[in-house]
Amino acid sequence: MDGSTVSRTVGVVGASGYAGVELLRLCAAHPDFNVVVATAGTHAGEKVAVHTPSLAGAYPSLSYAATDPVALEGLDVVFLALPHGESQHLVPEMMSRVGVIVDLAADFRLHNADLYPIWYGAEHTAPELLAHFVYGLPELHREELRDTRLIAVPGCYPTAAILALAPFVRAGVISSSAIIVDAASGVSGAGRAPKEALHFGTVDEDFTAYGLLDHRHTAEMEQSLSAEVLFTPHLAPMVRGILATCYARPSIPVQGRSTLTTESALHILEHFYRDEPFVVVSEAPPSTKAAAGSNCAHITVRVDPRTGWLVAIAAIDNLVKGASGQAVQCANLALGLPEVTGLPMAGMYP
């Protein structure tokens, strides 16, 4: 497809959840996207503006429809913002009906079907399609995304961790074993459905770890980094944001001593991301507030001369760069549009 300004018809499946709502918000500001179908199984028939008043100005008359592949017939791009396990049942029916499919769930992120029972507790129902999906991290897979109709958007935690560590993995300066990722997320990462663990009285003034040793996003990190990863997620008392602090051992050169320093590590980061519109490399420690509302990842790195550890830190908005913004970024590439179209560079402050 060429990059001329032509309205692309868009469908958002699972539009009532946090990721779906964020997709609708971003599409409303996109000059080439026209949302014509928004589905939500439990809210079918309800007006979007009533369910989510923040979208009332952009979608005064749009109503949620039932999820039906036939209703998506002929659309240029369809975003799937569904819970894990649902996309793999829909995609086979959709492939011949729509142009580009962008799945925000984990259904097609892993290349090896044998990993799904281990990390997601069930066999994959369409394993033959896994090899056809491109992992939707543009900073690492941009050229593949330009030539695909099937995109699997990374998880929020993996996005932050992979962006922080990939430059050092690709430069061969860190060990592929014993990588540690500690990351904290705002409560919106758990979705919109009410849960006791997410009540204000539970989350406020609290900070807790969860998913110890077996969080499903571990598999994505290990796949992208070709490394062994110990991942511990935490729930922070905030709405948006992820801060990932990643630890790795520098590779030991032949002479038995690592020559990696903070200065050289920052140079690796700056060089790797020098042309990336949505990555900000800085000496200053990144904050989730800096990333809130934007599609940018803010990254820094340190090398501790005392312990020898490399510490790479990334902050993103889990709903934008960690989900819906990255999905739009990928769709732009697949549709032949300028990659930055419709995406916010600046965050919200305060």
- Which CATH architecture describes the domain 157-317? 2-Layer Sandwich (3.30)
CATH code for the domain defined by 8-153+322-334: 3.40.50.720
Six token digits for residue 278 = 């949505």
| 57 vs 28: CA distance, rounded Å | 10
Q: What are φ and ψ of residue 43, in 5° steps? A: -120, 15
pLDDT at 309: 95
Which is more confidently placed, 49 or 188? 49
Residue 80 · residue 90 · CB < 8 Å = yes
Q: What are φ and ψ of residue 73, in 5° steps? A: -50, 125
pTM of the model: 0.95
Please count the other Cβ atoms lying within 10 Å of the Cβ belonging to residue 106. Answer: 24
Sign of CA dihedral 115, 108, 19, 286: positive
pLDDT at 193: 79
pLDDT at 263: 97
Task: Report pLDDT digits (tens) over 248-284.
Answer: 999 976 555 578 999 999 999 999 999 999 999 999 9
- In this model, does residue 165 exceed pLDDT 60? yes
Which is more confidently placed, 191 or 239? 239
Q: What are φ and ψ of residue 136, in 5° steps? A: -85, 55
**180 exposure class (CB count in 10 Å sphere: 0-12, 13-18, 19+):** middle
Percent of the chain with pLDDT over 90: 88
pLDDT at 255: 55
pLDDT at 77: 98
Residue 327: band (very low, low, confident or very high) from pLDDT cuts 50, 70, 90? very high
Sign of CA dihedral 188, 191, 196, 199: positive
| 187 vs 238: CA distance, rounded Å | 6
pLDDT at 5: 60
Please count the other Cβ atoms lying within 10 Å of the Cβ belonging to residue 119. Answer: 15
Q: HSE (CB half, 13 Å, CA atoms) of 178?
A: 8
Residue 107: band (very low, low, confident or very high) from pLDDT cuts 50, 70, 90? very high
pLDDT at 3: 44
DSSP H stretches of helix in 38-80 = 48-51
Please count the other Cβ atoms lying within 10 Å of the Cβ belonging to residue 304. Answer: 11
Strand partners, 171: none
- In this model, does residue 2 exceed pLDDT 80? no
Give the sheet arrangement for strand 179-185, strand by strand: 208-209, 229-235, 179-185, 242-248, 310-316, 297-303, 279-281
pLDDT at 200: 83
DSSP class per residue in 43-96:
GTTSBHHHH-GGGTTT-SS-B-B---GGGGTT-SEEEE---TTSHHHHHHHHTT
Mean pLDDT (whole number) for 65-72: 94
pLDDT at 196: 80
Mean per-residue pLDDT over the chain, rounded: 94
- In this model, does residue 162 exceed pLDDT 50? yes
Please tell me the least confidently modeled range out of 11-15, 204-208, 230-234, 245-249: 204-208
- In this model, does residue 91 exceed pLDDT 90? yes
Cβ contacts of 193 within 8 Å, gap of 6 or more: 17
DSSP 8-state assignment for residue 321: I
Q: What are φ and ψ of residue 235, in 5° steps? A: -100, 125
- Residue among 304, 206, 329, 210 nearest 250 (CA): 304
pLDDT at 1: 40
Q: What are φ and ψ of residue 225, in 5° steps? A: -95, -10
Indicate if 296 belongs to the active site: no
CATH 3.40.50.720 residue ranges for the chain: 8-153+322-334
Residue 279 · residue 293 · CB < 8 Å = no
Residue 124: band (very low, low, confident or very high) from pLDDT cuts 50, 70, 90? very high
CATH 3.30.360.10 residue ranges for the chain: 157-317
Residue 197: band (very low, low, confident or very high) from pLDDT cuts 50, 70, 90? confident
Q: How many H helices and E strands in the chain?
A: 11, 13
| 146 vs 27: CA distance, rounded Å | 20
Q: What are φ and ψ of residue 329, in 5° steps? A: -55, -45
Task: Report pLDDT digits (tens) over 291-320.
Answer: 999 999 999 999 999 999 999 999 999 999
Residue 318 · residue 186 · CB < 8 Å = yes
Please tell me the least confidently modeled range out of 124-128, 185-189, 285-289: 185-189
